[in-house]
């Protein structure tokens, strides 16, 4: 099922979807979105690419094994939770750093919560792609 | 002695051996250092473990636990030193050390625990460790059977005891022994007292091998000799005795306590004495004398008078000292001569003088001959027996008389006969044992003599405080070797006479007992096998009945139970009317359409026989559901649902490429019974949902999240804040599930097993 | 609306249960998908239905303005959807693998572990020797 039009447009579409997935991830704390949704969108991008080209192509584009991504995601999420221990607080207490914060505003917030959400993103993204690639490969 | 295992070159067991010797030795010295404080009164220390359940890891250090702790660590040192030489070159010696230390820790925890639940945990640690130790020689079917028998019996008893502990904990309102022991009057007056007592005794009797649970103990001889020495002297079997002694202030001093303990203890003691005479293997003989000792201890704790408790505590120490020494001695004899058969061993005293000395000291103490501490113990036992009222006095005194006479005889069999007379031919020529193996028996035998000569030390430091702990009140304890000419002394002399007469004729008695046993229909050990077979038959029967192996039937039963139980509850409680006030008045046409889409889609999945139609229809349902999420203000959920729906369609379609078609629809494919169950589940679910939606709503949690979301967690999307901050641990668990599911599916799909199994 | 939604949920549940009672593992799978949808709807509806007010806090405010939809069941359902997907994918892989190995998707024909004739299964002792009262432990057996 190699269609030139599909392949070409998919490259563009997949790139857009991936970008959008990161956008959804980052805005998630304040607007609809977040790690789960971002991860799902990102996975969809690669699945689309797989359908348009092949599973091997998609793996090459991804560079890293999806199961590794999933496990690394778990690790990041776990570390984000553990980091609260450095501040002497219970497991999974969010730690915040507000850069350039002015009176009343919150500036550029950086937090372990965001790191945790990135872990969620990677775990979902990697988990789903592991499944799809494995099934695709077998068939 | 089977020396046929491949030897590993280790000096005294290597590092494992040194650690195993140092551990109990250091603890022994530590406890010894604490001894003077304990003499003045009990101490409780502790930390909270599971505070919400009232479980504390607390330590109760009083005379009773101190006596036990010293025996456990002291005899433990002798045993580990002995094993380092005895088993040190065995390939599995490090494993043995692990088990032995685990056992030691379990036993120490058991006697030191102040909280009943932690006591139970340590109790089961000893059960498991004893299983591993008895079955250490795992190549032998007999070892494995004995180990399993001990595990099942003592483990079951332990669980029953846990029931008693929980009830007692609820009755008393605390699980701390130090507090419960002061509420004795309240516990005894409680209507559940009898239940608590029986449950506790089930644990104690199985552990301490009282009739009718006695048969596991002689079988446990399958363990290596140092283990037997340890199990039989200071640990394991004494755990039950410890429990009874420990619970005496709370549960003791009632009619039921008195009669149950004295009768079962007495029967155990006498039955065991007779069985001991019957054995030819001297290790087995000793095993039965342990039963005898346990029976006597149970009997005295049951009797509960001051003298009885003093007698029990004295005898506890006395027995541990001589029993450990004798077992270790037998191991040396076995090691040196290659046999343990009493009929073959003769005249070893010249070849093994030190072993003979240790054996003599221990056996004389066991026979209760002055000036050994065994005599002190026996005097107090008689004194206690004679001090009881009515029938109790006759029963207990008679039982002690019988048991003591038998102990005199067995003392002669295990320690006099093998060493006296002319040297007999043995499988290997007899020679003296090495010092690490001799040290334990000699020191223990020496202690038996020392405490016999200065019984006041024993009374002041160990027996006195222990008696205080068991009775719950302070009495001065004065132990003595010579109490003047009295009834107890006369009974002692009569015991020696009876014992001597029995010893003279013990070989013909043994022959008669063996003949009698062959005709006797009662065989506890065989009964145990029948019990296990019965269990397996019942298990097989009910498995065949319940587990038919048909997924369809399991599902049908599950769903039908749901209908009957939930629907039935509805009918019985008359709740079907709840929530019917909800109207359809304000339903927007768009909502009608979405709901219709969902309903039609799901019916289509059932109706169609085309896979692709079914997949498409599932997609319709999924999209309908996400539309509902959008309509009712859940953008995050709607996006997720939509994306997942796409993925489901992709995945299922991919799999369809290789999976078979659905069977064609026919008249026969309609299953009315299943349709009925399905309809029932649907109706019950509908009513359940209606009544949930019709009842008042508690918004407290949501209100908290709404209020805290921005000020505390700095997020404006409350759903996301809940996911990544308030409930982050849950989310972490959930992404773990996703990753695990993916990895598991990967393993399934990539599996390299043969495609088709031929059988 | 709540009443209609409850009835719709009932229909979805009924069809999913009927599908899950099928011998065909594929139809079972379809039932699983529908059931997880229905259950998600029940949890969602359990937090009550609110129209047009997503649980977001507007800029400048410290708490939601007015009554907004219940965020808690939304968070629960969101993860439930993803988990449900994981479960489905795993089940699918299992069905697929089973078909490749056994050549069938009929659950009644998958009988390697539980053969139809149960009597073939060994119901004997747990492989333990019985103690022999006539020959109590000798050194060879009982020592090490």
What per-residue confidence (pLDDT) applies to B564?
Answer: 93
Share of chain B above pLDDT 70, in %: 94
Query: How is chain A split into domains, by residue range?
Result: 4-136
Cβ pair A131:C89 closer than 8 A: yes
Cβ pair C93:A36 closer than 8 A: no
CATH code for the domain in which residue C13 is found: 1.10.287
Average pLDDT over residues A40-45: 92
What per-residue confidence (pLDDT) applies to B209?
Answer: 87
Whether C120 maps to a domain, the answer reads: no
Whether C123 maps to a domain, the answer reads: no
- Tell me how far apart the alpha carbons of residues B734 and B83 are, in angstroms, rounded to a whole number: 50
What per-residue confidence (pLDDT) applies to B335?
Answer: 81
Task: Please state, rounded to an integer, the average pLDDT across all residues of chain B.
Answer: 85
pLDDT band at B121 (very low <50, low <70, confident <90, very high): very high
Q: Taking CB atoms and an 8 Å cutoff, what residues of chain B touch A28?
A: 717, 720, 724
Cβ pair A67:B720 closer than 8 A: no
What per-residue confidence (pLDDT) applies to A102?
Answer: 61
Q: pLDDT tens, B520-561?
A: 777 788 888 888 899 999 998 888 788 777 888 888 999 999
What per-residue confidence (pLDDT) applies to C128?
Answer: 38
Between B82-91, B264-273, C100-109, the lowest mean confidence (pLDDT) is in C100-109
A52 in contact with B at a CB cutoff of 8 Å?
A: no
pLDDT surpassing 80 at residue B375: yes
Mutate to test the interface with A, among C89, C96, C98 (most CBs of A within 10 A): C89
Cβ pair A36:B713 closer than 8 A: no
Mutate to test the interface with A, among B651, B709, B712, B728 (most CBs of A within 10 A): B728
What per-residue confidence (pLDDT) applies to B105?
Answer: 92
B644, B658, B716 member nearest A139 (Cβ)? B658
Cβ pair B716:C56 closer than 8 A: yes
pLDDT surpassing 50 at residue B744: yes
A131 in contact with C at a CB cutoff of 8 Å?
A: yes
Cβ pair C82:B586 closer than 8 A: no
Q: Provide the terminal-to-terminal Cα distance of chain B, rounded to the nearest Å.
A: 46
Token output for A46 = 């690669």
* Cβ atoms B259, B194 nearer than 8 A: no
Q: pLDDT tens, B607-646?
A: 888 888 999 999 999 999 999 999 998 889 999 999 999 8
Q: pLDDT tens, B3-58?
A: 556 777 777 778 888 888 899 999 999 888 888 887 777 777 766 666 666 666 78
**CB within 8 Å of chain C, chain B residues 716-735:** 716-719, 722-723, 727, 730-731, 734
What per-residue confidence (pLDDT) applies to A94?
Answer: 75
Global ipTM: 0.90
pLDDT band at B580 (very low <50, low <70, confident <90, very high): low
Share of chain B above pLDDT 90, in %: 20
Residue in chain C nearest B676 by alpha carbon: C18
Q: Number of folded domains in chain C?
A: 1
Mutate to test the interface with B, among A37, A74, A82 (most CBs of B within 10 A): A37
Max CA pair span of chain B: 112
pTM recorded for the entire structure: 0.66
DSSP one-letter string for A57-114: HHHHHH-S-HHHHHHHHHHHHHHHHHGGGGGT--TT---EEEET--SS---EEEEHHH
Cβ pair B723:C49 closer than 8 A: no
Burial class (CB in 10 A: 0-12, 13-18, 19+), B191: exposed
DSSP one-letter string for B53-119: GTEEEEEEESHHHHHHHHHHHHHHHHHHHHHHHHTTTSTTHHHHHHHHHHHHHHHHHHHHB-BHHHH
Whether C127 maps to a domain, the answer reads: no
Burial class (CB in 10 A: 0-12, 13-18, 19+), B685: buried
B651, B658, B741 member nearest A132 (Cβ)? B651
Residue of B407, B404, B393, B384 whose CA lies nearest to B488:
B384
- Measured CA distances, B754 to A135, B155, B234, B519, C95 (Å): 18, 43, 56, 58, 16
Containing domain of residue C75, as a range? Answer: 2-50+69-102
C54, C56, C86 member nearest A127 (Cβ)? C86
What per-residue confidence (pLDDT) applies to B212?
Answer: 84
Average pLDDT over residues B408-413: 84
Share of chain A above pLDDT 70, in %: 91
At C56, is the secondary structure helix, strand, or coil?
Answer: strand
What per-residue confidence (pLDDT) applies to B201?
Answer: 92
Whether C93 maps to a domain, the answer reads: yes
Sign of the alpha-carbon dihedral angle for B594, B597, B599, B605: negative
What per-residue confidence (pLDDT) applies to A104?
Answer: 57
Mean pLDDT by 10 residues, chain C (144 residues): 88 94 89 93 89 84 83 91 89 87 79 60 40 41 37
Cβ pair A124:B735 closer than 8 A: yes
């Amino acid at each position: 099922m190699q269609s030139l039009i599909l392949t070409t447009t998919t490259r563009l579409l997949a790139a857009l979807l991936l970008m959008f997935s990161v956008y959804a991830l980052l805005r998630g704390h304040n607007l609809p979105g977040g790690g789960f949704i971002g991860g799902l969108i990102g996975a969809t991008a690669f699945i689309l690419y797989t359908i348009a080209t092949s599973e091997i192509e998609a793996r090459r584009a991804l560079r890293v094994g999806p199961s590794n991504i999933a496990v690394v995601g778990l690790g990041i999420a776990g570390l984000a939770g553990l980091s609260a221990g450095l501040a002497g607080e219970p497991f999974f207490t969010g730690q915040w750093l507000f850069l350039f914060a002015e009176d009343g505003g919150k500036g550029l917030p950086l937090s372990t919560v965001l790191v945790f959400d990135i872990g969620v993103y990677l775990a979902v993204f990697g988990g789903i792609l592991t499944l799809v690639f494995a099934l695709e490969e077998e068939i | 002695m089977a020396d046929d295992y491949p030897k590993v070159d280790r000096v005294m067991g290597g590092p494992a051996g040194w650690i195993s010797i140092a551990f109990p030795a250091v603890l022994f010295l530590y406890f010894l250092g604490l001894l003077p404080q304990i003499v003045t009164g009990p101490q409780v220390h502790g930390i909270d473990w599971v505070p919400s359940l009232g479980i504390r890891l607390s330590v109760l250090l009083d005379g009773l636990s101190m006596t036990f702790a010293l025996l456990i660590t002291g005899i433990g040192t002798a045993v580990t030193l002995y094993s380092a030489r005895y088993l040190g070159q065995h390939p599995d010696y490090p494993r043995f050390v692990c088990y032995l230390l685990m056992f030691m820790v379990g036993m120490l925890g058991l006697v030191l625990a102040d909280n009943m639940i932690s006591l139970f945990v340590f109790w089961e640690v000893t059960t498991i460790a004893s299983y591993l130790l008895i079955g250490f020689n795992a190549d032998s079917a007999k070892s494995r059977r004995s180990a399993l028998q001990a595990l099942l019996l003592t483990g079951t008893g332990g669980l029953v005891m846990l029931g008693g502990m929980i009830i007692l904990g609820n009755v008393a309102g605390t699980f701390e022994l130090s507090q419960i022991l002061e509420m004795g009057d309240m516990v005894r007056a409680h209507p559940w007292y009898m239940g608590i007592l029986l449950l506790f005794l089930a644990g104690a009797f199985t552990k301490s091998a009282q009739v009718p649970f006695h048969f596991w103990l002689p079988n446990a001889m399958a363990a290596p000799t140092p283990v037997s020495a340890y199990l039989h002297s200071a640990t394991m079997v004494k755990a039950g005795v410890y429990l009874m002694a420990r619970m005496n202030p709370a549960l003791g001093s009632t009619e039921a306590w008195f009669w149950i303990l004295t009768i079962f203890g007495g029967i155990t003691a006498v039955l065991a004495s007779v069985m001991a005479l019957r054995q030819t293997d001297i290790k087995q003989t000793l095993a039965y004398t342990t039963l005898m000792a346990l029976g006597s201890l149970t009997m005295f704790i049951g009797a509960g008078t001051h003298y009885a408790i003093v007698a029990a505590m004295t005898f506890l120490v006395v027995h541990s000292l001589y029993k450990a020494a004798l077992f270790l001695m037998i191991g040396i004899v076995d090691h040196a001569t290659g046999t343990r058969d009493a009929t073959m061993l003769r005249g070893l005293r010249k070849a093994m003088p030190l072993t003979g000395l240790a054996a003599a000291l221990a056996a004389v103490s066991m026979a209760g001959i002055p000036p050994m501490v065994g005599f002190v113990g026996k005097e107090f036992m008689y004194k206690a027996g004679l001090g009881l009222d009515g029938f109790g006095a006759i029963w207990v005194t008679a039982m002690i008389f019988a048991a003591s006479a038998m102990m005199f005889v067995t003392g002669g069999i295990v320690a006099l006969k093998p060493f006296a007379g002319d040297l007999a031919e043995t499988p290997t020529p007899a020679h003296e044992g090495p010092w690490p193996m001799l040290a334990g028996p000699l020191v223990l035998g020496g202690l038996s003599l020392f405490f016999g000569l200065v019984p006041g030390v024993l009374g002041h430091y160990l027996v006195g405080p222990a008696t205080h702990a068991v009775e719950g009140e302070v009495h001065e304890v004065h132990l003595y070797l010579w109490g003047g000419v009295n009834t107890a002394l006369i009974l002692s002399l009569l015991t020696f006479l009876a014992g001597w007469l029995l010893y003279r004729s013990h070989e013909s008695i043994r022959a008669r007992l063996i003949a009698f046993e062959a005709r006797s229909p009662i065989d506890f050990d065989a009964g145990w096998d029948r019990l296990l077979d019965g269990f397996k038959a019942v298990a097989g029967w009910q498995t065949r009945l319940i587990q038919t192996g048909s997924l369809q039937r399991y599902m049908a039963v599950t769903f039908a139970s749901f209908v009957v139980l939930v629907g039935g509850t509805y009918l019985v409680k008359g709740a079907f009317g709840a929530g019917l006030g909800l109207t359809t008045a304000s339903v927007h046409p768009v909502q009608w359409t979405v709901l219709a889409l969902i309903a039609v889609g799901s019916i289509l999945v059932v109706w169609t026989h085309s896979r692709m139609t079914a997949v498409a229809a599932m997609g319709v349902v999924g999209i309908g559901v996400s539309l509902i999420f959008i309509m009712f203000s859940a953008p995050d959920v709607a996006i997720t649902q939509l994306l997942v729906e796409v993925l489901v369609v992709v995945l299922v379609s991919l799999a369809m490429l290789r999976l078979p078609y659905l069977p064609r629809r026919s008249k026969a494919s309609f299953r009315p019974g299943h349709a009925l169950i399905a309809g029932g589940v649907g109706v019950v679910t509908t009513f359940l949902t209606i009544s949930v939606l019709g009842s008042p709503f508690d918004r407290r949690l949501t209100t908290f999240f709404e209020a805290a979301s921005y000020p505390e967690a700095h997020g404006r999307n409350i759903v996301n804040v809940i996911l990544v901050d308030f409930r982050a641990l849950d989310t972490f668990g959930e992404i773990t599930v996703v990753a695990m599911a993916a990895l598991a599916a990967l393993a399934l799909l990539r599996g390299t097993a043969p495609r088709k199994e031929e059988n | 609306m709540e009443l209609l939604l409850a009835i719709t949920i009932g229909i979805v549940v009924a069809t999913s249960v009927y599908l899950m009672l099928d011998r065909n593992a594929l139809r079972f799978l379809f039932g699983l998908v529908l059931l997880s949808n229905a259950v998600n709807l029940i949890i969602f509806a359990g937090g009550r239905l609110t129209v047009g007010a997503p649980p977001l806090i507007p800029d400048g405010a410290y708490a939601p303005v007015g009554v907004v939809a219940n965020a808690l069941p939304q968070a629960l359902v969101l993860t439930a959807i993803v988990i449900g997907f994981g479960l489905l994918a795993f089940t699918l892989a299992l069905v697929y693998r089973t078909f490749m190995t056994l050549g069938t998707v009929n659950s009644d024909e998958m009988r390697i572990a539980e053969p139809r004739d149960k009597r073939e299964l060994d119901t004997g002792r747990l492989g333990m020797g019985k103690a022999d009262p006539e020959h109590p432990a000798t050194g060879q057996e009982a020592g090490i």
